[in-house]
Amino acid sequence: MSNERFMTRAVELAYKGRGATAPNPCVGAVLVKDNTIVAEGYHTQYGKLHAERECLADARAKGVDPAGLTMFVTLEPCNHHGKTPPCTEAIIDAGIGKVVIGALDPNPVAAGGVEALQNAGIEVEINVCSQACCDLIADFLLWQTSNSPFNIIKMAATLDGKIASSRRKPEPVSGPESFARVHQLRRIAGAVVVGGNTFYADNPSLTCRQDALPANFTQPLGIVVTSRLPERPSDFTLLRERPSQAIFMTTEDAARSEAADILRERGTSVWPLPGPQGGLNLSIGLERLRYDRGCHYTLCEGGGRFAMALIEQGLVDELVHFVTPRILGDETAPAAYSGRSNVTMADTCDFRIAQVESTGVDIMLTLRKK
């Protein structure tokens, strides 16, 4: 159980670097002496020291001699020269006695750390809290094997699965703590994506509204997926305040319309997407966000139909679902996930729960593909 406890702390540290390390993985490390954590580190930003070297630097700053101690690290230490020297060298030079690893590195260029450590006489244990550590690098693995960004759906619903009243007014569903967590997600996202119904009903700004954002912070792009383009762009906050950071993904016909020309004249991009019967092939638009605009993460915040479209097209890499202890009880109110009919329990879209957290009175479920 101690091994799991120490690795769990390394995972917690790793998530602090999420977003800033892209396209590198999030990694955390702790140094343990006499069953106590004596130093910690995580990969803080792309191009900066890796978690193992940060941990060793923390040990030096605290006057801790790492020789003979045990290091827990969420990902196999790299064994190649990239933007920083191999972490295996730093571990060997420090005289670490044992290294406990959560997940092996899927990148063949960086792999080989286990063998290098063992050849230096260091004891190695692998696959401790392996599922949690593999979840940490799911984004990195996706970037290595596809052209897609890592797509996160955010949903907030009552106990009876409703995301708004039947009046469909933009009213808060969950509490302020959950709202703050959503803006943490917006902070790492390169783009916030909504469907047309949400855009027209809520008139969202699609910005990160955290306090004390850094001076060089770049707001996420605002993406609207709709077959109906706005005829009066000045009516909408996103198009008034930052038209050049807005993109409409729409049908090929709509992209050739007068409304599309008006948007482009204001600096807004209009991207046509193919799709049968009015549907849109969302994967093409999302992949373009990555290779055209450098988006490594998207945060999808549309309504139930948009969420279900993403799920059915296999485009959801993480689902963050807030459950608030409230019951609306109105069967006409919009549901968190909708758009299907005549399906049985055998036709469900299945996920597994990766994390469960309290956010004020709400519960935040983080789910991954099963």
Query: Would you name the residues annotated as active-site residues?
Result: 52
List all residues 6 or more positions away from 218 whose beta carbon is below 8 Å from its beta carbon: none
Q: Which residues pair with 225 in a beta bridge?
A: 195, 249
Give 227's DSSP letter: S
How would you classify the pairing of strands 191-195 and 221-225? parallel
The rounded distance, in Å, linking the Cα atoms of 338 and 208 is: 27
φ and ψ at residue 287, rounded to 5 degrees = -65, -35
At a CB cut-off of 8 Å and minimum separation 6, what does 285 contact?
223, 225, 249, 271, 273
User: How many Cβ atoms sit within 10 Å of the Cβ of residue 68?
Assistant: 11
* Residues 6 or more apart in contact with residue 230 via CB below 8 angstroms: 200, 236, 239, 259, 263
CA distance 320 to 188: 14
